[in-house]
Structure 1
Amino acid sequence: MPTRIVCAPMAGGPSTPELAAAVGAAGGLGTLAAGYLSADRFAADLARTRALTDRPFAANLFVGGPAAARAQAVADYAERLRPLAAELGVTPGEPYPEEDADDDDFAAKLDVVVLARPALVSFAFGLPPSAAVARCHDAGIPVAITVTDERQALAAAARGADALIAQGWEAGGHRGGLDPDDTEGATGRLALLPLLARVRASVDLPLLAAGGIADGAGVAAVLAAGASAAVVGTAFLRTPEAGTSPVHRAALTSGRQTVVSRAFTGRLARGLDNAFTRDHGSHAPAAYPQVHRITAPLRAEGRRRGDPELVNLWAGQAAALSRDVPAGTLVAEWHAQAQQALATARSTLAPPL
């Protein structure tokens, strides 16, 4: 990974084989997101990526079962959204389907990963079972686990992680750490640089830094802070290779600020502010995936209409820096910018007395 740039997994559409291949061709590490896909579709995406590139790429899986949701709070939220759903001509989704898939078909997707043997498998939303880590290791696949504080880092190291993805508060999309959303703030919602320092002081594992990185200077900053690589997500959303929806692409150029809310899925996630987050964010219970299921028909209708006020517009704090440029071009630019930034920083340091 000569450029030390990793494309973040972006479930729900933006992660595509074409994006993973383009990032890899430029010397970075592309990632395929398994989240919300069927196991068969995930396997097809891995095969497609393998056909597009001979470069290494990674895969990402969601971990964990359902949140210990308060049934009444979930029901109340569904009722709150019913008038809006009626206006849109849809019905809120069923939060508790008879055939529950709260683990995102984890076992089947793990089978797919072990068979495909990507260069790295990363896990978010929880600690993977010890048996899952062992299966990846037996297949020669290194394991990375997403953490948002040093306590989680210690737990991930004890589970057998080969690397950690340190996700700062600036990052777009879901908070990917081990804790459920209603307790995640226990040790503070750490920005990326303090998080790197605290995790680096706690565990001796390679760190992949995620959160608010959108240019070469950001890459250089996290490398100087001790990370082995920079994980970039939002800055790839407008690339032609990404599967980002048209309404999401357009919103990234609108000048909207980002907010962290559980309005769309019941799990804290950073996205561009819109009417849905303003109207419902303070009412949504910490109940993933139940809230995710409830809002799914509304979000789908919002995308169909191209209405940014109804759609989850995941984006990090540096969203304004995203560009409609091929992914490989961005990786090459960031590599050159990072080299220049590190050289400039080195030249400004006075020799020790």
Structure 2
Amino acid sequence: LQFLYLRLNNFSGDLLGSIGNLRSLEAIHIAKCNVSGQITSSLRNLSQLFFLDLAKNSYRGTIKLDVLLTSWKNLEFLALSLNRLSVLTKATSNTTSQKLKYIGLRSCNLTKFPNFLQNQYHLLVLDLSDNRIQGKVPKWLLDPNMQNLNALNISHNFLTGFDQHLVVLPANKGDLLTFDLSSNNLQGPLPVPPPGTIHYLASNNSLTGEIPSWICNLNILESLVLSHNNLSGLLPQCLGNSSDELSVLDLQGNNFFGTIPNTFIKERRIPRSLINCSKLEFLGLGNNQISDTFPSWLGTLPNLNVLILRSNIFYGIIKEPRTDCGFSKLRIIDLSNNIFIGTLPLKSFLCWNAMKIVNT
């Protein structure tokens, strides 16, 4: 037997008990099978293994990963995420002969960055999220030689910063890149992502400074989530021109001030904004210091579902729409804790039809 594919079933019990006797196995895919038990050292016998996916089961106990890796010389894909495991790694290890491409160790009770990841320049995906890793992100993880990386997820740890001053996130030269740094205690300025980034998530940290101009070079960006940091300054005027794929922009809970960038307006001088913002679904600007009138011009965004402006300095009268109501897809609007005056425009509430639809 060379390939064992059992994923997406509802088995019970331990499927790995005697699997170490199948020495010709090259691939094991038992993800999402509801199986349990322990990952035993007998798996060292599987010297031909190149693919191992045990994610989203109920395996438990402690696994000495370095010991297993010394036997799995051909391993390229390793997924142990979302079990009940505690993965131990040594301070030093020698896995440079391996060409690991996918590492999934989410929720594996890691307390430090696994040293075996050093010099793994073939990595495409690295997920170390939801662990207990403390301290700074090591310099070797940001090595420019990590030129194949498509996705890096180090969210939901206890990280405080980066082990170098100018932080440029490593990745391949292509597109469709994802970086999730959220829910740590990262300090300092925003790390610089490559131009091909589509998801840049860094919420719930302690990042400081302004949003740099390089944000406008991310011309295929779909999600920019920087909420609940200590960022400040003016919002870059180029935000609305940066990407025609932008669907989520969440800047809540910072210290931004000024006005909403004019480039979000579709009937202004920059016609490209009509295209660039057409996919925006979520716009969160709450809990900042933005001073502006009600942005009725956002009503031309054809896919806007959520508009959060709470706890800013929005002011003035919210005027009745003259013709078309706009905001055709709007389901949630939060204007609380501003200094608007006058009466709410009844016509808007009558014709914001998306709010009247109840999903069944």
Normalising by the smaller structure, the TM-score range is under 0.3
Which protein is richer in strand relative to its size? 2
Greater RCO (CA < 8 Å, at least 6 residues apart): 1
With the length of structure 2 as denominator, give the TM-score of the two structures.
0.23
Higher Cα radius of gyration: 2
